[in-house]
Amino acid sequence: MEPLTEHRQVSGPVVYGYLRLVRVSAARHAALAASLTEYCRSHELQLSGVFTDRDVNSGPDSAAFTGLLDVLALPDVYGVIAPAMSHLGPKAIAAERGRRIEVAGSRLLLVRRPRTAHPPVVRSGPVRRRSPGATRVLDAES
């Protein structure tokens, strides 16, 4: 009898990591790389490499990002994993890089999701809404 699929070595979708590390400590670098590894482990993804951009003045065509785009052209590459959108660069550069990842036919996966503009308000108990100037009408027999 053959073992169950869960007991076989099955490789998940191939992803590549991308980190933008400008003036960070070795400990921070290790923690961010570990977060990518853990995300991939828990989501059954195969992390095949991590591209690291260390140049503060790098534009959208840095050496690390160009290398990332090159591997995205390989067959069977699912996407790119980054700790947060900020790792793709400042907002304008990040938007352009995100678009280029999408054009390459890959998905951009983020360990930390972007924050919403307004966090949802959680209320306990029923919510009573009254319109301004509303009056209660009593029963005629009360």
Burial of 51-64, coded b for 16+ CB within 10 Å and e otherwise, reads bebeeeebebebeb
Contact 36, 83 (CB under 8 A): yes
pLDDT for 60 equals 81
Long-range contacts at 119-127 (CB < 8 A, ≥ 24 apart): none
User: DSSP string covering 67-82, please?
Assistant: HHHHHHTSTTEEEEEE
**pLDDT tens digits, one per residue of 28-72:** 999 999 999 999 999 999 999 999 998 877 678 899 999 999 999
| pLDDT value, residue 87 | 93
Residue 142 pLDDT exceeds 90: no
Domain boundaries, the chain: 12-110
Find all residues with CB under 8 Å of 46, minimum gap 6, and list them. 11, 12, 13, 14, 15, 40
Asked if pLDDT for residue 134 goes beyond 50, the answer is no
* Residue with more model confidence, 122 or 110: 110
Q: What is the pLDDT averaged over residues 84-108?
A: 94
**3.40.50.1390, 3.40.50.970, 3.50.50.60, 3.30.70.1450: CATH of 12-110:** 3.40.50.1390
Over residues 78-92, the mean pLDDT reads 94
pLDDT in the model for residue 80:
97
